[in-house]
A and B are shown apart, each in its own frame.
Chain A
Amino acid sequence: MKTMTTQPGADLRPEGDLRVVGKPLPRVDAVGKLTGATAYADDIELPGTLFVKILRSPHPHARVLSVDTSSASSMTGVTAVITGHDLPTKYGIMPTTEDELALEHEKVRFVGDPVAAVAAVDEQTALAACRAIRVQYQPLEAIESIEQALLAPGDEPIHDYAGPANIHRLAALEFGDVDAGFAAADHIREDVFFFEGNTHLAMEQHSSTATYVGDQLTLWSSTQTPHYVHRALSKVLDLPMGHIRVVAAPQGGGFGGKCDPFSHEMVVCKLAMITGRPVKCTLTREEVFYAHRGRHPVLMWVRTGVAQDGKILAMHFRTALDGGAYGSYGPASTLYTGALQTTTYNIPAYRFEGVRVFTNKAPCGPKRGHGTPQPRFALEVHLDKIAQEIGLDPVELRRRNFVKGQTRTVTQLRITSCGIKEVTDRVVKASGFSGRIRRPGHGMGFAVSSYMCGAGLPIYWNKMPHSECVLQVSRGGVTLFCGATDIGQGSDSVLATVAAEELGLWPTDIRLVTGDTGFAPVDLGSYSSRVTFMAGNAALMAARKMRGILVGVVAEQMGCSPSQVEVCDGKIGELAFEDAAVLAQERFGVLSTHGTYTPPSDLGGSFRGAGVGPSPSYSYSAAVVDLDVDSGSGEIHLNKVWLAHDIGRSINALAVKGQVEGGVYMGLGEVLMEAQAYRHGLHKQPSMLDYKSPTFLEMPEVETILVETLDPEGPYGAKEVGQGPLLPVIPAVASAVHDAVGVWVDEVPVTADKILRALDDLAKGRPGRFGPKSFPDVPYPTMYKVAPRDAAPTSF
C-alpha cells in the first residue's frame, strides 16, 4: 500500500475559524457516565450467563505434575472445567513474545499464573469448584531479582527460549563516535538509579463476557486493544478472523493495563464454545494486581560527558529491566528505556545498552509512558547533578542542549514541531523558579520530557493503515465507525469533535461505533498516545470527503459554486443539515466515506531496533514542583505543580486540562508512594488499601499551561497529551527534595524513610544519597555501531 506523504491534518486555520475544535466542551459520553447508564464490561449480563473463576498458582516457580479436575467437574452447578490441555496454543502481544498459555498445565511462573478455570451457575459455585481442583506442583527455585536472573539458575530457566541465564532480551546500539565525545569532554559524570515497578490500578477490574452462537464468537471485554485481542483469539481458538467479533466495552481506566490479550479473555471464549452459553469472568482486585503488565522495575547507569559550557558531547546509558514472568511488550519496553533521551536533548554521540530479564513475578508491560519514565527520571536528575558540578543553572544547562524542530536526532528520529523551549520558558516564569527565595526545608525542582504521538510501526508487521474511520450519513443522522477505544482519555469525544467541525454540527450530533472489530474498521488500539493523531487524522479525512459530497449536492441545488456553500451551525448552505443529507441520499443512496492514517515511512532508521521510538510527532512537557520536606520525619508536603505541555493544538481544551492533571497525579503517585513490590515471590500489597495511591488529600494545586505549536501533520495541528505530562513530574520531585534538604534520593519512589537515611548519612559526613550502589555485569552483545543516515532528499 502506498504510504501517504501528504497528511490530511495540515489544517492550520487560526483558532477563531474553528467552531468546536479547541473549545472546552463536555465529553460526548458524560451523561451516561454520570447517570449510571453506561454499561462497562462487568455491567453486561446476558440471559443464562455462566460465571468463571480461575484457579491460580500459589507458587512463584513450579512444575505442574498433575491437575485433577474430577471432583470439581462433578459438583452441582458446575457446567465445565478446563485446563491448559484445552487451550494448548501459546500467545503474546508481540510476534516475538508468544510465550503464554491461557492456562498453564506444565509450568507456572508467578504467584497468580492461571492453571484451570471453572464455569458454573454463579461465582460462589465456581470458586468452590476451583478449590476442589487438585494440582500437584514440584516447586523450583524462584528468581526474584535482576541480579539473580543474570546468574545461571539453580534449577532451570523460567523460559526455554532466549538466555543466557534468565535474560529475555539484550540490546546494544551506538550512534556517532561516543569514545571521541568522552575524550573531548571537560567533565564526565556517572550515576546509578533505580525505579521500582508500579501498577496501573485502574478503578475498573478487568471483565469479559463471551457468546458463541452459530459459529460466531463475540467477546465484550475491558481491552484497550480489541484488534490485537481479535488476532490472539483467532490463533488460540483456531477460528477464522471473520467469525470473531471483539467489542471493547467502555473502560473504567486503562493506563496501559488492558493492552495485552489476557488469559481470562481466552478462557471465557473457550468456555462459551464448549457450553454454548454466555460466559463471564470478572477479575477480583487481587487478580488485577497479578494481571499487572505495569511499570518495569529498572536499574540504570548513565555516563555523560559535557564541555565546559554544559554542551553534551557523549552519553552512555545502560538499563536493566525486571520483566516478570512473561514477554508481553518486553522487547519494546527494553528499547523504550533508551529511545527518547535524544528527543529532548541534542546528544551528538549516544550509546545504549539494555537488558530485560525474566523473574518469577507478575509480568510487566506498558504503563503510561511505556519504558520512558524510568530513564527520564535518571536522565533529568543526572543532568541536575552535572549542572551543580559545573556550576551552571539546571535550566540553563538544559536550554543549551535542547533539540530544535525540523531536525533529526543522532538516533535518526524525525522531529517536526517542537515546543521544548516554550514549555520551559512558560513553566519557569509562572513558577518563579529562577528567582525563588530560599527558606529551610523548601525546595523546587524542574524537568522536561517528550513523548510520542503514536508509535510509527504496528506491533506486528502488516501494511494495513494504522487507523481507519468510516463515516455514514443516513436519514439525516451521522455515524462514525472507528476501531479506537475510549478508555476514559476521551478519544470518542475527539473523533466526534473532528467530524462535527467538518460537518457544521455539534459533537453530540455524531453517533459513535468504536472499539468494535465486528463493525468498525481497524484501529490498532489505545496505546502509545496514538489515537488523537492517527484516528483523528482518519476521521478528518472521512469527514472532509463527506463534507465535499454534501456541499456538492447543496451547491447544485442552490445554483452556486461549492466554495460559496458555508458549513456551520447545523446548516449546509441554505439547507438544514438533515435536509442536505436526505437530498444527497436521494441522489447516491446511503452516504459513506472512508478515511485512513498511515504514518510516513521515514520517521526513523532502518537498523535492528529502529522500530521503537519513531513517531509522526513528539509532544513536549516541562514541570516545576514546589514542596517542603520535614527533615525530622522525612515527609514531603507538596505545595504546587506547574506543568506546561506542547499540545500542538487542543481538540478539546477541557479534556486536555484533565489529561494533564491526571498525568501529573499519576506521576506524583509513582514518585511518592506507589510500588508493586514482592517478598519471596509474593506480592506485598495486592489491595487498594495496602498499595498506596494518592487521595484528594495528597494532591497539590496544579497549574496547567498549554503551548500550541500547531503540528504540521496532526489533525488541526494536534498532538498527544495522555502520557507526556506524567514524565517530568517524577524527576522534578526528586530534584525539589534535593533542593529542599540537600540529599539525593536516586530511587523511585522517593519516600520519607529514604530521605531520612540519606539525611542521616549526610549528618555523619557521608554523601547524602540514597540509591543503588552499582550496576550489575551484563553480558551485553557486541556493540552495533549504527551508520549515519544517508543524506535524505528532504532537509532533515
Chain B
Amino acid sequence: MSEAQVSAIGSREVLRLCVNGQGRELLVRPYATLLEVLREDLRLTGTKHGCETGECGACTVLVDGVPKLSCVVLPAQAEGTQVTTIEGVAQGSTLHPVQQAFMDCGAVQCGYCTPGMVLAAKALLDVNPAPSPGEIKEALAGNLCRCTGYVSIVEAVEQAGRALA
C-alpha cells in the first residue's frame, strides 16, 4: 500500500449523529460502519458484533425506533435520525420492562446476543404491545442466540408486553 492510500485511510469526514438522545458531532473514517462508529468512536461497546456482515443480529440498534443491523448501515444513513443503543434503554439505574423481563425469565445466558435481542423486542412491543408467540418469533428471527434455545426469550417478551400494558 502506498503512502497516499494510507493517508486516504487516515482521512476523516464530519458526521452528526443523535445517539440515545444526545447530539454528537464527530470525525469518522469514511469506510466505517455505524457499528464501528458506535463501538470505536463513541465507545458504546454494548452494541455487539458476531459477523459484521449482517447475518447474526448481535449489532441491532434502533434507528428512529426501527431495528437495524448497524454493521451494514453507513453512519451517514443515520444522520438526522434518532439512534438508540442498549446503553439508552434503561432509565438511569432502573431497567426497562423488556430488560427486567429478560432478567426475570432467564433469557440472558452469555449475554452477547442480548443487547440486540432487547432492542428488537422493544421495537416490536412499541408497535405491537401484545404480540403472539408467533409474532415474537417472526420479529426476532433475524437475531441468533446460541445459548437459550430462544424459549426463555419468547417468554420474556410476552412478560414484558404484559408489564408494559
Interface size class of B (residues with CB under 8 A): 35 or more
On whether A75 and B144 interact (CB within 8 A), knowing A24-B106, A204-B48, the answer reads no
**Which of A180-188, A609-617, A694-702 contacts the other chain?**
A694-702
A512 at the interface (CB under 8 A from B): no
A518 at the interface (CB under 8 A from B): no
A sample of 11 inter-chain contacts (CB < 8 A) reads A26-B104, A30-B111, A37-B46, A43-B39, A45-B43, A202-B112, A654-B106, A658-B148, A662-B109, A693-B144, A702-B149
Whether B137 pairs with A697 at a CB distance below 8 angstroms is yes
Whether B103 pairs with A30 at a CB distance below 8 angstroms is yes
Contact with B along A34-58 (1 / 0, CB 8 A): 1111111011010000000000000
Closest residue of chain B to A658 (Cβ to Cβ) is B106
* Cα(A592)–Cα(B61), bound, Å: 45
Interface residues of B (CB under 8 A from A): 1, 3, 5-6, 9, 31, 39-40, 43-53, 55-56, 58, 85-87, 89-90, 95, 99, 102-106, 108-115, 118, 136-138, 140-154
Whether B115 pairs with A695 at a CB distance below 8 angstroms is no
Question: Of A34, A255, A696, which contacts B137 at CB under 8 A?
Answer: A696
A763 at the interface (CB under 8 A from B): no
* Cα(A657)–Cα(B107), bound, Å: 10
Whether B148 pairs with A697 at a CB distance below 8 angstroms is no
Whether B115 pairs with A36 at a CB distance below 8 angstroms is yes
Whether A75 pairs with B6 at a CB distance below 8 angstroms is yes
A428 at the interface (CB under 8 A from B): no
Query: Max chain A CB contacts within 10 Å: which of B9, B95, B141?
Result: B9
Query: Max chain A CB contacts within 10 Å: which of B1, B40, B58, B149?
Result: B149
Whether B46 pairs with A657 at a CB distance below 8 angstroms is no
663-703 of chain A: CB within 8 A of chain B: 663-666, 687-689, 693, 695-697, 699, 701-702
On whether A488 and B140 interact (CB within 8 A), knowing A34-B103, A205-B49, the answer reads no
Whether A252 pairs with B53 at a CB distance below 8 angstroms is no
Question: Of A34, A202, A702, which contacts B102 at CB under 8 A?
Answer: A34
Interface residues of A (CB under 8 A from B): 24, 26-27, 29-40, 42-43, 45, 75-77, 122, 124-125, 128-129, 131-132, 200-205, 250-255, 284-285, 487-490, 654-655, 657-658, 661-666, 687-689, 693, 695-697, 699, 701-702
Given A30-B111, A204-B110, A702-B151, 17 other A-B residues pairs in contact with their CB atoms under 8 A: A26-B106, A27-B103, A36-B46, A122-B9, A203-B56, A251-B110, A253-B110, A285-B53, A488-B111, A658-B106, A661-B151, A665-B150, A689-B51, A689-B55, A695-B142, A697-B137, A701-B151
Whether A657 pairs with B152 at a CB distance below 8 angstroms is yes
Question: Of B47, B113, B153, which contacts A203 at CB under 8 A?
Answer: B113
Whether B146 pairs with A664 at a CB distance below 8 angstroms is no
Q: How many Å from the CB of B145 to the closest CB on chain A?
A: 7
Q: How many Å from the CB of A257 to the closest CB on chain B?
A: 10
Whether A662 pairs with B48 at a CB distance below 8 angstroms is no
Tell me which residues across on chain B come within 8 A of A490, comparing CB atoms.
109
Closest residue of chain A to B31 (Cβ to Cβ) is A124
Question: Of B90, B109, B144, which contacts A658 at CB under 8 A?
Answer: B109
Whether B151 pairs with A688 at a CB distance below 8 angstroms is no
